[in-house]
Amino acid sequence: MAKRPSTPTLEVIARYNVCPPPNSAVPTSLPLTFFDIPWLFFSPTQTLFFYEYPNPTCHFLSTTLPTLTHSLKLTLQHFFALAGTVVLPPDSSAATPQISYDHGNYVTLVAAESKGDFFHLSGNHQRCVDDFYPLLPPLPSSFAAASKTKQEIPLLSIQITIFSNSGLCIAFSCHHVAADARTFNNFIKTWASISRDPCFLIKAPPFYDRTVVKDSYGLHSTFLNQWSNKKSSLAIGSNNNITTVLNVPESEMVRATFLMSPAHMEKLKQWIISRCNLTNKPHIPCLSPYNLTSSFIWVCLIKAQGKVSGKLFGKKASYFGFNAGGIIRLDYPIPTCYFGNCIGFARCMAIESELCGEDGMIVAANAIGNKIKELNEAMFKGAENWISDWEVFYGGDESNHVLVMGSPKVDLYDTDFGWGRPNKIEEISIDNYANAISFTESRQVKGGIEVGLALPKAKMDAFTSFFTQEGEEWKRGAHRDTTRKVLEYL
């Protein structure tokens, strides 16, 4: 088991209902677009920002907390929709779910104090996942099943936890149906800027006009029908997720972060190119840092799964899922400050035994690269299957599929509330999936990617072994046939 301090205690200090300033926002209804509807099937994104804060709790309560609360209020006059709700129509209604803001809507802000070890929690090493859950603000985890009356689900809640004389954690629970990473980044950067300078003027306020999204392929009705057919299986509540809960006690799950450096990526890239030349294989498309990192993590996770299960690698398919930004791929313009989702769903496949063979990196990179190329050329090819394709990622711990959350292109580490850049950013919602990983730009290494994982202890140890061993071989340029080494573990 990962080394951990004694179970930390947390005390709630205060609760606030933070509204936009009076008369600063008018009641608004935003229909969900086809980009938004698939996210009705997902539990909230849960992101933690850890900041060093060498001040006592009394200083936080008298100075910092009032500033954060007031600046949040000012920020919500622009991002007022986040104070609203998702309105789910009655089961008998043909109406579309929508985001609604009205006077009196608010964002719940919880202030708390923890006796835990700030520097332990904000590290990269293995830590028990259940140590992080007290830091999360409450928010209904998924959208409700059929009801005779309409239901209104809050979109955002925030918790700020003080670790006296050491640090702060600002935690967000936000339903992805309201905002993709780009929109969320615009919100949190605006809040941080106003917190540093109350006179800060936002240059590009959120753009709320949903008519800029063109549904040329009839995806809205397709996705809405799929939502209507499946929503009866969804359950609302803080402990009920739409995903299959892993058959592993939380106390046996650990979280860790791994760094993919540009030097590591370049070694991988050059080996792939050389290997393709040597074997007369076509060159891999889109050998970007994202693809190289994804491919390496995919291979290491499948090998770790095999080591822990003790099963030989066969012809079983392994799927790799990720999101693709839409703004740069659409053939019509959408403002970068558009409020809402503008990302597509992507899924590619490879065979387990091929991923773990000598050319496993080539197999993985080719699958991901070709999918990225396809998205660049025709983003909506097969888009009617976005929802059904992603059902494979809801499996339990024996699943051999991998799902990526987050993006290294969103500069979250530049979020400065006045205490400098975050020490660490953690994506907690990956805990809901068997092999989910989070991508964040590296805080320490320019061009690097931080990869976050939450796995059972045995699988994390196996993954760490493969990541470290093979990473060292790539750096030395001495990568050999990996099949034999994998079989030695079994």
- Retrieve residue 251's tokens: 């106390």
Rounded Cα–Cα distance for residues 300 and 412 (Å): 26
Active-site annotation holds for 416: yes
| CB atoms near residue 299 (< 10 Å) | 25
Contact 32, 215 (CB under 8 A): no
Instruction: Measure the CA–CA gap between 425 and 119, rounded to whole angstroms.
Output: 13
Euclidean distance between CA atoms 277 and 259, whole angstroms: 28
Q: Is 359 noted as a catalytic residue in this protein?
A: no
**130 and 250 Cβ atoms separated by less than 8 Å:** yes
What CA–CA distance (Å, rounded) separates 439 from 322? 11
Which structure tokens are listed for 475?
């750096």
**Which one from 91, 416, 461, 479 is the annotated catalytic residue?**
416
**490 with 306: CB under 8 angstroms?**
yes
Q: In what order do the strands lie in the sheet with 156-163?
A: 10-18, 107-114, 156-163, 167-174, 45-52, 424-427
Residue 34 to residue 130: CA distance in whole angstroms: 35
Pairing verdict, β 424-427 and 449-456: unpaired
Q: Rg of the Cα trace of the chain?
A: 23
Which residue, chain included where needed, has tokens 């730009």?
441
Residues near 378 by Cβ (< 8 Å), separated by ≥ 6?
Answer: none
Q: In what order do the strands lie in the sheet with 317-325?
A: 127-128, 253-260, 449-456, 436-441, 402-405, 317-325, 343-351
Q: How many Cα atoms occupy the beta-carbon half-sphere of 149 within 13 Å?
A: 3
Options 78, 176, 220, 264, the catalytic residue: 176
Nearest to 244 by CA among 234, 255, 230, 232: 234
The residues, ordered by sequence, that sit 6+ positions from 427 with a Cβ below 8 Å of its Cβ are 45, 46, 47, 405, 406, 438, 440, 452
Return the closest-CA partner of residue 21 out of 69, 75, 65, 77.
Answer: 77
Q: Tell me which residues are annotated as active site.
A: 176, 416
